Structure 1
């Protein structure tokens, strides 16, 4: 895990920031944690200013919990920080937010990287919503999101179990998952012209490989790369391969 990251608090925003240079903004998924991006931060903070805002998924008013408000939060954070000409990267729900942001503000973003993104289709929680109080169920569903089930540590499973066992948080998780499923972007993706990299697990059970192909077909300037023996979180499961693919893309594409 990231060793006790320095969480910066500025008003309503909490985030970590490592390194100097061009901003690389990372957006975590529904059950995301700062540690999910450990390998990316460790490698790319030597070249970029890597920033991870903590998305307020569990703090939103229940009736407002959804992708629109989450995207508005990211907009407000970016405006607060004054970022321009930055790269944006999102996993799962974070990819969905990145897509919604870039369609509203294409001029602010140079390049986009999506991995296991929702926005077209996703098999939420392995086909069912979280069951509170059932540790075995949560453990099974968490391990289902990894090619090698042992990638999910007990600490990670415990954290998700604790989250889903909290009634208000569980309500927000369900609301957000439903919002993601309703918010299909198939008819809008052709508008994106920014250079885009799609890194997909060849064994993804949540957003299957066919979803990666669909994104590649619908986003004009996109490149699709698969990682074998990898499921929904390539940056966690195959961090070295993920970083090699990302590094090649960043070196081969010229920022606007």
Structure 2
């Protein structure tokens, strides 16, 4: 299903459904397609919002986790969303954490899935290898438990990104920012109900990362999804939606 991309000022976003806002933040190689099943399921009960993060458009000094968190803050302020449920995958989770640590009063709940912020395996020291399609294909497949989820369309998207010199510079800047911006000492300050949904077979932010988040965020619950890698909402959407639905239902 194709959703209308709306524009307000400098912001581009998708907004579907009515109810309390469920804000979805994608990761470094993420896109709207990552959230299709999630949007379709929750638009019946929530106003589901996906801001298109300007990963490639910020100036290099603002190309950081903090810079993107500021962008999200301005977006949420402009749209005047209240009682938000904030969900982030991978780098999107990291952005959500940096945002909530400054603006907790705006957030009703936090949902993290495969989030960076404590520890993550990147694409390896040799990354990105420009021009080597097979290498990028294998690296993209590692995101998932089932390599078939890395469709040709998805691999082509990643390949196009890493063959754009400016985008590669931005990727490296964001990856370094994520590694530097470790939040271990601050997570105890998060008091909102938090749901952690983790792939049991995630090799980028392994299960122990989910366990560490559970230990450090006081009001949190942790759910593991079997046969699942770094993007549970893509790889096991029915189970992901069931876990998230049960969590949100408790907050009504």
TM-score, with normalisation over the residues of structure 1? 0.96
Contact 2:20 2:82 in 1 (8 A): no
Find 2:117's aligned residue among 107, 119, 140.
Answer: 119
Is 1:249–2:247 an aligned residue pair?
yes
Matched with 1:135 is: 133
Matched with 1:85 is: 83
Find 2:66's aligned residue among 68, 72, 82.
Answer: 68
Cα distance change, pair 126–38 in 1 and its aligned pair in 2 (3 A): farther
Contact 2:13 2:49 in 1 (8 A): yes
Per-residue deviation at 1:134?
1.1
CA distance in 2, matches of 1:226, 1:127: 29
CA distance in 2, matches of 1:197, 1:253: 12
Per-residue deviation at 1:133?
1.2
Per-residue deviation at 1:126?
5.0
Matched with 1:217 is: 215
Per-residue deviation at 1:128?
4.6
Contact 1:203 1:209 in 2 (8 A): yes
CA distance in 2, matches of 1:228, 1:127: 29
Structure 1 residue runs without a partner (length 5+): none
Per-residue deviation at 1:253?
3.0
Contact 1:126 1:144 in 2 (8 A): no
CA distance in 2, matches of 1:151, 1:21: 31
Per-residue deviation at 1:62?
2.0
CA distance in 1, matches of 2:216, 2:30: 26
CA distance in 2, matches of 1:100, 1:118: 11
Matched with 1:207 is: 205
CA distance in 1, matches of 2:28, 2:50: 14
CA distance in 2, matches of 1:86, 1:70: 18
Contact 1:96 1:117 in 2 (8 A): yes
Range moving further from structure 2, 54-63 or 140-149 = 54-63
CA distance in 1, matches of 2:162, 2:56: 11
SS of residue in 1 equivalent to 2:12: strand
Cα distance change, pair 126–205 in 1 and its aligned pair in 2 (3 A): farther
Q: Residues 158-204 of structure 1: CA distance to partner in whole angstroms, max 9, x if unpaired? A: 01100110000111011101100110000000000000000000000
TM-score, with normalisation over the residues of structure 2? 0.98
Structural mapping, 1:1-256, within 5 Å: 3-125=1-123, 128-254=126-252
CA distance in 1, matches of 2:62, 2:32: 24
CA distance in 1, matches of 2:76, 2:46: 16
Per-residue deviation at 1:22?
0.8
Structure 2 residue runs without a partner (length 5+): none
Per-residue deviation at 1:224?
0.2
- Over the aligned positions, Cα root-mean-square deviation in angstroms equals 1.0
